[in-house]
Every structure is written in C-alpha cells, then in structure tokens.
C-alpha cells in the first residue's frame, strides 16, 4: 500500500535510538504529571525528541531559537496538542516574548539551547522548577556565572564526549560544508578556506573542506589549539594573512566580533563568509551594513545571501545573515539525523534523571553523568552491529 509521508516522518524513522527510548518511556512514564519547557530549534529532529518526552508523560510547552523555527514543525507540534509560542523570527524582541511565554507557564523542567530559558529563570525563580538540561557550549558559558542563583541540577549535553565527537566534530563540519554548497552552488576545489575556531566544530569544518579539496587555514586565539591544528596539517597563518587569503571564511568560535568592520580592508574580492557558531554575532554584519566603505548591498532574498560592494571595487558575500548557516537559508537541514539522535537521546536520559531526582543541586551546570554516556553509546552500537 502506498502512503504519503513527510520529512517529519523521514527524520522520525531515522531517529532509531529515540524510537526505542519512546517505547520504553511509554511503559516507565518518567515525566508523568510534569511539564517541560523547551527553547531549542524547532525543526524535524526536535520533533522526534519532543514526541519521546511526551511518550514519557510530559506536557510540553515549546519555543525555538532565533531564526531557526520551521513553520511546518510548529504546525505539526500543535497538531499533536503541544503548546508552541515560537514564530520564525530574527528579531530578538519577538524571540524574547516567546521565551517569556514559556517561563510564564512555570514548567517543572527546562530543556534549554543557548541558555535563554535558564537565564530568565535565574532572574525570576519559581518554586516548582526542578532543573533540566542545556544543549550547547554557548549556553553553558552564559549560565556558569548564574550558577549560584540557579542552584539546581542542570546537565550540559555539550559536555558529553558523545555530543563533542558525534555532533560538534563530525556533524557540524558536514552540515556547514553542505550549507556552503546549498547556499552558493559554488565549488570548493582549490579554494582557500579560513576556519576561525578549532574547537570540536572547527575541527570538523576544517576537515570537511580539506576533504573537499580546499586549502584550509585555521585561526584560533589559543596557541595550544593552533599548534594542534598545525600538527593536524592545517595552515596556521597570522589572523591578518588568514583573512587576506580566504575565498571562504567560516566562523565557529562561540564568541562575538570574530570578523568585524575593521577587517573590511583585508577581505579578498569575492570572498564568502559564513557562521556556524550558535549566536549570529561572530560576523559583525550590522557594522558592514552601515560602514562608509560599503557603497552598495545586493540582497538575494530567496537565497539568503547578501553581497557587499566596497568603494575600491571589491565585493564579498555573507550567507544566511550571519546566523548558523546549517539552520539558515533555503531548505535548511541542520546536523545529520544520526548525530542528533545520539545527542537528543542524551537529552531524554538526562531529563529523565533530573525528573526522578537522581541528581541534586550540586549538579548545577555539569557534564552528562558518565553512566548515561555509556548507556547511550551501547544502545547506538547495538543498533549498528
Ligand atoms: N551549527 C551547529 O549546528 C552547532 C552545533 C554545535 C555547536 N555549535 C556552536 O558552535 C560554536 C563552537 O562550538 P565548539 O563546541 O567548537 O566550541 P569550543 O569551545 O570547543 O571551540 C571554540 C574555539 O574557538 C576559539 N576561539 C575563541 N575566540 C576566538 C577568536 N577570537 N578567534 C579565533 N578563535 C577563537 C577557542 O579558543 C576554541 O578553540 C558554539 O557557539 C556552539 O554553540 C553550533
């Protein structure tokens, strides 16, 4: 029999670990009577996670992150009876309103991505908040200074070795590379690529472009990490030379102002700039847009590309408005299904641990417990054998 299937079905069927976990949760019901507030990209892979949490008895109140909300995902979640406040927006004020709406529901657990929800809860604590999870490096860095105010279990998925190598290293590199091709339809062969940041994401990005026949340079402010890049066979020029020579610049540091208006004199004619870091602040686009040396901007609306024309005749292009390129632009796919299946199974297991009181306030902004890592690794290997 033939049946029409959607992208959400395709992704859900590929999340084999989450499917197994959902079957178990239907019996064990770890979230019975609890609500979970989520602030994470609303795209099809997140659906698989949210359906798993719901199978465990959770009531879900959801919003997304800046720019990455996919309307079809929102429609689907609503059709499943979940409360969703998100809109597809690049406006931080509108995004903030959705986050506030989630917190106003006083969820018992929070599933955060970038620290947006816990940052609000730190300022306005409420009694039934048990704790939860934070997905990213950027969120962890933002929440660490709020540790005393939060004083509740918050498990950081990013700090699991599995998230580090399965998603950040292997999947972000692949999907940023895929995004470059998807946005531009340009080649990588013989191109000079500069990657800013040689953390897990930068390592994968540098490797993927090298595998696609580019000459890759790496710039990292940490000399030890730069040495690692050098010994991995990447060119490690000084920052200025790395910008001057680049046909493609990818930022994946998690920090603001990595490429700024001060770099305009250095940018090579025709260069393409993209960001893979969590926040759209690594490439200072707003400064480019108002800079006196920029005499014109072409906006390829449908393709989410901006071309900047400089006074001296050079042009350069920025993809996806400087937002995470793998979740921006036409038909954004994000990281691979398998990598997110692993990371989101860590999410589900960590939320289960917090819901059951298996970790206390001493576990405020700490890595995933090692036994959960081992359980998830074994489950994935069992499926692969
Ligand atoms: N696009 C995605 O799907 C995706 C997925 C996971 C993580 N992320 C985000 O990617 C970013 C990087 O994550 P990570 O896990 O690789 O982080 P990381 O902390 O492991 O690595 C960041 C690296 O950037 C370097 N760095 C910092 N400031 C710099 C500067 N001014 N110039 C050059 N290098 C600099 C650091 O020394 C470090 O080596 C974060 O914002 C994270 O949230 C994105």
Tell me, yes or no, whether 280 and 357 share the same domain: no
Model pLDDT, residue 138: 87
Tell me, yes or no, whether 145 and 18 share the same domain: yes
Model pLDDT, residue 325: 97
Model pLDDT, residue 87: 81
Kindly tell me if the per-residue pLDDT of 65 is higher than 90.
Answer: no
Model pLDDT, residue 148: 95
For ligand 1, whether the C-beta of 222 sits within 6 Å is yes
For 315-325, what is each residue's pLDDT tens digit?
Answer: 999 999 999 99
> Of 327, 350, 367, which residue is a domain's last?
327
| Ligand 1 centre distance from Cα of residue 252 (Å) | 5
Tell me, yes or no, whether 374 and 272 share the same domain: no
Specify the residue for token string 């929070």: 110
The backbone torsions φ and ψ at residue 319, rounded to the nearest 5 degrees and listed phi first, read -95, 140
Kindly tell me if the per-residue pLDDT of 18 is higher than 90.
Answer: yes
Tell me, yes or no, whether 146 and 200 share the same domain: no
Residue 160 domain-assigned?
A: no
Kindly tell me if the per-residue pLDDT of 88 is higher than 90.
Answer: no
Whether residue 33 contacts residue 292, with contact meaning beta carbons closer than 8 Å, is answered with no
Chain mean position to CA 241: 29
Q: For Cα atoms 64, 376, 334, give the angle at the middle one, nearest 5 degrees.
A: 35
Name beta bridge partners: 275. 251, 324
Q: Which among 174, 180, 242, 278 is the best mutation to test ligand 1's pocket, defined by most ligand atoms within 8 Å of the CB?
A: 278
Whether residue 14 contacts residue 383, with contact meaning beta carbons closer than 8 Å, is answered with no
Model pLDDT, residue 1: 85
Domain count within the chain: 2
For ligand 1, whether the C-beta of 201 sits within 6 Å is yes
CATH classification of the domain holding 179:
3.40.50.720
Closest residue CA from atom 20 of ligand 1: 199
> Of 295, 327, 359, which residue is a domain's last?
327
CATH classification of the domain holding 36:
3.40.50.1480
For ligand 1, whether the C-beta of 339 sits within 6 Å is no
| Ligand 1 centre distance from Cα of residue 170 (Å) | 14
Tell me, yes or no, whether 143 and 36 share the same domain: yes
For 20-60, what is each residue's pLDDT tens digit?
Answer: 999 999 999 999 999 999 999 999 999 999 999 999 999 99
> Based on the number of CB atoms within 10 Å of its own CB, is 87 exposed (0-12), middle (13-18) or buried (19 or more)?
middle
Residue 99 confidence class, pLDDT cut points 50, 70, 90:
very high
Tell me, yes or no, whether 290 and 371 share the same domain: no
> What percent of the chain has a predicted confidence (pLDDT) above 90?
94
Q: Looking at residues 277-286, what average pLDDT do you find? A: 95
Question: First vs last Cα of the chain: how many Å apart?
Answer: 30
Residue 6 confidence class, pLDDT cut points 50, 70, 90:
very high
For ligand 1, whether the C-beta of 179 sits within 6 Å is no
Kindly tell me if the per-residue pLDDT of 91 is higher than 90.
Answer: no
Go through 8-18 and write b for each residue having 16 or more CB atoms within 10 A of its CB, e for each that does not.
beebbebbbbb
Residue 2 domain-assigned?
A: no
| Residue 258 CA, closest ligand 1 atom number | 31
Residue 159 domain-assigned?
A: no
Residue 282 domain-assigned?
A: yes
* CA distance linking residue 382 with residue 375, whole number of Å: 11
Tell me, yes or no, whether 269 and 353 share the same domain: no
| Ligand 1 centre distance from Cα of residue 117 (Å) | 21
> What percent of the chain has a predicted confidence (pLDDT) above 70?
100
Which range of residues forms the domain containing residue 193?
A: 168-327
Q: 174 by DSSP, 3-state: which? A: helix
Model pLDDT, residue 266: 98
Residue 203 confidence class, pLDDT cut points 50, 70, 90:
very high
Kindly tell me if the per-residue pLDDT of 86 is higher than 90.
Answer: no
The backbone torsions φ and ψ at residue 335, rounded to the nearest 5 degrees and listed phi first, read -75, 165
Higher pLDDT, 381 or 90: 381
Q: Looking at residues 189-200, what average pLDDT do you find? A: 98
Tell me, yes or no, whether 223 and 282 share the same domain: yes
| Residue 253 CA, closest ligand 1 atom number | 24
Residue 5 confidence class, pLDDT cut points 50, 70, 90:
very high
For 129-147, what is each residue's pLDDT tens digit?
Answer: 999 999 998 899 999 999 9
For ligand 1, whether the C-beta of 263 sits within 6 Å is no
Residue 62 domain-assigned?
A: yes
Q: What is the pTM of this model?
A: 0.90
CB-side exposure of 18: number of CA atoms within 13 Å?
28
| Residue 254 CA, closest ligand 1 atom number | 41
> Of 327, 352, 373, which residue is a domain's last?
327
Q: Give the list of residues 6+ apart from residue 63 with CB closer than 8 angstroms, or none.
A: 38, 39, 42, 84, 85, 86, 95, 98, 99, 101, 102
Residue 158 domain-assigned?
A: no
| Ligand 1 centre distance from Cα of residue 203 (Å) | 10
For 210-251, what is each residue's pLDDT tens digit?
Answer: 999 999 999 999 999 999 999 999 999 999 999 999 999 999
Tell me, yes or no, whether 140 and 212 share the same domain: no
Residue 59 domain-assigned?
A: yes
Q: How many of the other CB atoms lie within 10 Å of CB of 338?
A: 19
Model pLDDT, residue 90: 83
Tell me, yes or no, whether 147 and 287 share the same domain: no
Tell me, yes or no, whether 22 and 146 share the same domain: yes
For ligand 1, whether the C-beta of 137 sits within 6 Å is yes
Tell me, yes or no, whether 178 and 211 share the same domain: yes
| Ligand 1 centre distance from Cα of residue 151 (Å) | 26
Residue 118 domain-assigned?
A: yes
For ligand 1, whether the C-beta of 253 sits within 6 Å is yes
Model pLDDT, residue 376: 98
Closest residue CA from atom 38 of ligand 1: 199
């Amino acid at each position: 029999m033939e049946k029409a299937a959607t992208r959400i079905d395709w992704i859900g069927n590929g999340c084999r670990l989450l499917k197994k976990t959902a079957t178990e949760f239907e019996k064990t019901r770890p979230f019975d009577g609890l609500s979970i507030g989520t602030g994470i990209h609303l795209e099809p892979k997140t659906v698989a996670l949210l359906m798993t949490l719901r199978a465990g008895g959770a009531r879900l109140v959801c919003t997304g992150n800046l720019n990455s909300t996919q309307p079809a995902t929102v429609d689907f979640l609503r059709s499943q009876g979940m409360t969703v406040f998100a809109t597809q927006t690049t406006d931080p004020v509108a995004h903030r309103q959705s986050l506030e709406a989630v917190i106003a529901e006083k969820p018992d657990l929070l599933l955060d991505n970038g620290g947006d929800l816990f940052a609000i809860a730190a300022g306005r604590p409420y009694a039934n908040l048990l704790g939860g999870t934070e997905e990213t490096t950027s969120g962890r860095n933002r929440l660490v200074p709020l540790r005393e105010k939060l004083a509740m279990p918050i498990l950081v998925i990013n700090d699991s070795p599995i998230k580090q190598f399965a998603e950040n290293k292997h999947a972000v590199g692949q999907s940023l590379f895929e995004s470059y091709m998807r946005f531009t339809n340009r080649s990588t062969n013989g191109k000079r690529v500069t990657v800013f940041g040689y953390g897990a994401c930068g390592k994968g990005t540098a490797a993927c472009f090298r595998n696609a026949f580019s000459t890759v340079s790496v710039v990292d402010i940490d000399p030890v990490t730069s040495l690692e890049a050098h010994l991995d066979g990447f060119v490690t020029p000084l920052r200025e030379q790395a910008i001057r020579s680049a046909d493609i610049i990818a930022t994946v540091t998690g920090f603001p102002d990595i490429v700024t208006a001060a770099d305009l004199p250095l940018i090579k004619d025709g260069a393409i700039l993209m960001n893979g870091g969590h926040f759209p602040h690594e490439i200072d686009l707003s400064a480019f847009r108002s800079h006196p040396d920029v005499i014109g901007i072409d906006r390829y609306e449908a393709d989410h590309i901006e071309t900047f024309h400089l006074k001296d005749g050079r042009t350069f292009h920025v993809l996806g408005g400087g937002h995470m390129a793998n979740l921006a632009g036409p038909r954004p796919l994000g990281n691979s299904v398998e990598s997110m299946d692993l990371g989101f199974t860590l999410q589900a297991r960590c939320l289960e641990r917090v819901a059951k009181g298996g970790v206390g306030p001493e576990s405020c902004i700490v890595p995933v417990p090692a036994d959960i890592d081992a359980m998830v690794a074994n489950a994935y290997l069992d499926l692969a054998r």
